[in-house]
Amino acid sequence: NHQAIVDVADRASGYGMPGVIVDGMDVMAVYEAAGEAIERARNGGGPTLVECKTYRYYDHVGIRGMGMTYRTDEEVETWKKRDAIENFEQRLQQLGVMTQKQIQAVHDKVLSDIDEAIQYANESPYPDASELLDNVYFEGEG
């Protein structure tokens, strides 16, 4: 653990805003927490730090290749059983909101969009070095 605090949401109070912790593996819980944060902001209450507790299935790049593992296969498999997308898809089917065929159509569209974006990126020229910091910081009045 590289932080002095357990929950990132605890940092919110230092910035004068509420911090909320939500199960990031539960799509509807995230949706509801985000909705409440958006509503608060729209009503003039300012920002909310929403910490979504989730799990990264894959190691950091190169760690396994270097023979350095820091979690067991069993741990990863346990978390995969809580996969946010798969569980949400099952929920949509159980509620009769979407069929498996409709879900597959969404998957196909997403993969197509990703392929198009990769092709666009590969065919695009590199930006000029002078643009490196463009749109990184807000440069308006303040």
Q: Which of 58, 60, 120, 126 is catalytic?
A: 60
Separation between Cα atoms, residue 122 and residue 24, nearest integer Å = 32
Task: Judge contact between 7 and 13, C-beta under 8 A.
Answer: no
56 is catalytic: yes
Residue 137 designated active-site: no
Q: Which one from 42, 56, 120, 126 is the annotated catalytic residue? A: 56
The one catalytic residue among 58, 70, 126, 137: 70
Q: Which residues are catalytic?
A: 56, 60, 70
